[in-house]
Amino acid sequence: MVSSEVAAGSYCVGYYSKKKAFKPGQVTGGENCQKHSVGHPRNHTNPGSLRICVYGGVRHTSFSDEPVIDIDELLSADIVLTTYDVLKEDLPHDSERHEGDRRIMRYKKRYPVVPTLLTRVFWWRICLDEAQMVEGNAAAATELALRLHAKHRWCITGTPIQRKLDDLYGLLRFLQSSPFDVLRWWTDVISNPYEKGDVAAMTFTHNFFKQLMWRSSKAHVWDELQLPPQEECVFWLSLSPIEEHFYQRQHETCVDDAREVIEGFKDDVSKKQAADSMSSDTSSGPYITNMEAAKLFNSLLKLRQACCHPQVGSSGLRSLQKSPMTMEEILSVLIGKTKVEGEDALRKLIVALNGLAGIAIIKHDFPGAVSLYKEALDLVEEHSCDFRLDPLLNIHIHYNLAEVLPPTEKSLQQMSVSGSSENLPCGICNIDEKMIMLREEKKGLDVIPV
């Protein structure tokens, strides 16, 4: 739980003239939290000693037959319960939202806008249950929560930090913990130095939040909640061959990502040690950035999702149908995906061999070029049953190989007698004919009729 106290003083007196004050307390949470909060206080109080009011919002009462809640009803209640959805819907009804920046409308409004009651009351205490809902700065519920006026502010959450340290800044804004509710102070004093590993900044941050935070462990609420003893049941499950194959592929990706991050971290350590040997400043050490840590966590998330089903998660298999695929369908998808990857790898290898052979021809290393082209043909022949090669690459190999192959004495005599390529092998003749046809078509395209 995170709490803060705001000095009221003349601030409360100034609001009394235009707002009704002083309301004991308000609890804000999700829909399930509201249902739980209605019955939970009554279990610990005498019947009739506690008055609880559920505020449904201006929009809800406008579109229903329920009577509009009067502000006196809020003031007479001990606890007022509402939800984040109500805060979101009441934001357009806040009369002070555009105060001082209201544009002059061409025509008068046809219907009056009913103002929300939440910002018209100076609350004694505001409790935000599941406070991580207001950690973001762009949410409508966050904007209205920041506009509420109160003497005491509490944030109840089990996950104060969901993704990174900056999540705490949203809580400090609601708590009005000056000066760190200002983004510049938060960034320059706490966020940036802490993430860079500054020891002094870490110590200051820990001491600062110790003054605001209080953690309730099971020992504090054991007698109150009557928690049953904890039991642990372990069930070992075996993956099917298809699931195991998919998991192994995800595991290889995870290992590669982890090695990349760790190697980069080792480089940072070595550079830091080299810099420290020349300098006496040891205030900060090497650290893994948030992006690198997120990369590791995302890889682990892929493995956890792969244990459930190959379609779970953003990195899982995709299908046009909404229902989950069967193992046979998953197998066919994996086979097709592997075939595409194999053809892509074969194409890259053949392109590399053809490029090396072309360089050998430029250097007049014709035996080397012939050896490279033959190696490419052997690869194509070896994988012809599984993978298909692009026709242009095949033409490239055969045409250039026919150009650089050393002619035999018999073929030289035939070429000198005929003076044409009629007696050449059938494959080479077909390639020559295709090349001649392509050249003629190109000439036809180059001629522009007048």
Note whether 51 and 126 are same-domain residues: yes
Note whether 187 and 92 are same-domain residues: yes
Strands 149-156 and 2-5, sheet pairing? antiparallel
Q: Are 258 and 296 in contact (CB under 8 A)?
A: yes
pLDDT of the residue at 185:
93
pLDDT of residue 418 exceeding 70: no
Q: Which domain holds residue 379?
A: 333-446
Note whether 359 and 238 are same-domain residues: no
CATH number for the domain harbouring residue 149:
3.40.50.10810
The structure tokens listed for 442 are 């190109």
For residue 101, CA distances in Å to 89, 93, 95, 149 come to 21, 15, 12, 21
Q: What is the pLDDT of residues 14-24, one digit of tens each?
A: 333 334 445 55
Note whether 433 and 340 are same-domain residues: yes
Strands 20-29 and 79-83, sheet pairing? parallel
Note whether 296 and 180 are same-domain residues: no
Note whether 184 and 246 are same-domain residues: no
The SS3 call for residue 220 is helix
Cis bond leading into 179, ω under 30°? yes
Q: Which residues pair with 28 in a beta bridge?
A: 82, 128
Q: Among 152-156, 301-305, 309-313, which is the least confidently predicted range? A: 309-313
Q: Which residues pair with 25 in a beta bridge?
A: 125
Q: What is the pLDDT of residues 154-165, one digit of tens each?
A: 998 888 777 788
pLDDT mean over 116-124:
88
Domain count, the chain: 3
Burial 275-296 (b: 16+ CB within 10 A, else e): eeeeeeeeeeeeebeeebeebb
Contacts of 254 (CB under 8 A, 6+ apart): 299, 300, 302, 303
Would 106 be classed as within a structural domain?
A: no
Would 355 be classed as within a structural domain?
A: yes
Alpha helices in 28-152 (DSSP H): 31-39, 58-62, 71-76, 84-90, 140-147
Q: Specify the pTM.
A: 0.54
Domain final position from 225, 256, 291: 225
pLDDT category of residue 352 using cuts at 50, 70 and 90: very high
Radius of gyration for the alpha carbons in the chain, expressed in angstroms and rounded: 37
Note whether 189 and 242 are same-domain residues: no
Note whether 115 and 194 are same-domain residues: yes
Note whether 339 and 255 are same-domain residues: no
